[in-house]
Structure 1
Amino acid sequence: MEVPFYDIESVVLRCTAASPNNPDSQREAIEKYYTADCEFNHPLATVLSGQSSRDTVLRVYQWYRIMSPTLELTIDERVMDEARNIIYLQVTQTFHIRWSPFKPKPARLLVKIHLVQDGQLWFIKRQEDFYQPEDLLYLTLPPLAHVVHFLKRAAGIACTVNAIAFQSLGFWRTDRDKDD
């Protein structure tokens, strides 16, 4: 990439949502934009940095396309931390497993891309994908996402009740809590 902040959207789209009829385009993009020793971390797959780890990252992306021939991806926001050579992307992705009976649902994720510069060009050295649990389930088992969302809301209520109960016993009280 010459200007990562502007180039990253087309790079990500070529690597992930490449035409289902053109796997060569995906291979070319990963070979062009990722370092040979790149690293990939996703909640469902990890590739450690190694001599030819880019080949393994390519296989992960290829498997994703085999599983989901129809994949939609939108980059909603992007931020570049130039001091650290990191790009953050807020992404919405619709991933439908080929033989799944469930209707696909869009999932949100945060992608953290670590860049390295070689001459005038920038390359992806490490990619980390972060999902909320229910968003990860939207990709795999959409009906369970609602259960997880409910459990997270219940946990929020339980935290509130426990905080009030333990603060009444003197734990972790602010001055304002003491006045109430």
Structure 2
Amino acid sequence: MFEIIKWERGAERQIPSIIHALTSGTPAEQKSALDTYFLPSASFYHPLCRVPPFAHVQVPLVGEVNSRWVIWMIYRWYRILCPRIELVVEGAEFNQEMGVLFVEISQVFSLLFVPFAKSRVHLTTKLGLVKEKTDDKYYIAKQEDLYQFNEVFKFFWPGGDWTMRGWQVVTTVVCVHEYPQGFRLYFPYYHTTTFCPQN
């Protein structure tokens, strides 16, 4: 849990240790971080997986589980797939009115089955916080990892993001080139002599 004063004056000092425990810690350290800072019904959203909020669900052979337990399983699997991770928390900003903490993260990882290929990925993690009335502290109710589309390709295709960047440039050129033709097609009665921006 986090005291309000800490969020306002030193979130950047708290967040790195939490994120490193989740991404690089042992299973016990991961579980401890989740149990301490996440609500039992916390949700998790990532381009490759999704955990909706739920609590007190009976699973055969496992027992009673909640969404926080599922998030723990995801982080455990993440450590198996990416045994070597270099992660840097570049910044953290807490919006108290929205109850959201934005965290800028850069990480270099290599997949277990492609050990010699390393990829640097940038993302913004959006943490939704809820203040509990019992102790007047904030807990994480929602984690949402936001990636640029081309960043997701780095998980499966080392260097593939350059192909996506090239495609993005091509579509930009097409938009600029085809705008006059599209404008005339949809607004045939609008007379103009130029389609260039005016100074």
**TM-score under structure 1 length normalisation:** 0.87
Q: Share of identical aligned residues, percent?
A: 24
**Aligned residues of 1:167 and 1:173 also touching (Cα < 8 A):** no
Q: Which runs of 5+ in 1 are unaligned?
A: none
Instruction: Tell me which residue corresponds to 2:30.
Output: 26
Instruction: Tell me which residue corresponds to 2:24.
Output: 17
Matched letter for residue 148 of structure 2: Q
Shift of 1:150: 1.1
What is the rounded CA distance, in whole Å, between the counterparts of 2:123 and 2:28 in structure 1? 26
Instruction: Tell me which residue corresponds to 2:62.
Output: none
User: What's the secondary structure of 2:140's corresponding residue?
Assistant: strand
Is 1:39 aligned to residue 55 of structure 2? no
Is 1:83 aligned to residue 90 of structure 2? no
Instruction: Tell me which residue corresponds to 2:178.
Output: 162
Please give the residue correspondences for 1:132-143 in structure 2 after superposition, counting only pairs within 5 Å.
132-143=148-159
Kindly name which structure, 1 or 2, has the bigger radius of gyration based on alpha carbons: 2
User: What's the secondary structure of 1:142's corresponding residue?
Assistant: coil
Please give the residue correspondences for 1:1-180 in structure 2 after superposition, counting only pairs within 5 Å.
1-2=2-3, 3-4=6-7, 5-6=11-12, 7-18=14-25, 22-51=26-55, 52-100=66-114, 103-118=117-132, 119-168=135-184, 171=187, 177=195
**Structure 1 stretches of at least 4 aligned residues deviating more than 6 Å after TM superposition:** 172-176
Task: Give the aligned length.
Answer: 177
Two-structure CA RMSD over aligned residues (Å)? 2.5
Q: Which runs of 5+ in 2 are unaligned?
A: 56-65
User: What's the secondary structure of 1:87's corresponding residue?
Assistant: strand
**Aligned residues of 2:106 and 2:122 also touching (Cα < 8 A):** yes
Matched letter for residue 90 of structure 1: E
Shift of 1:96: 1.3
User: What's the secondary structure of 1:83's corresponding residue?
Assistant: coil
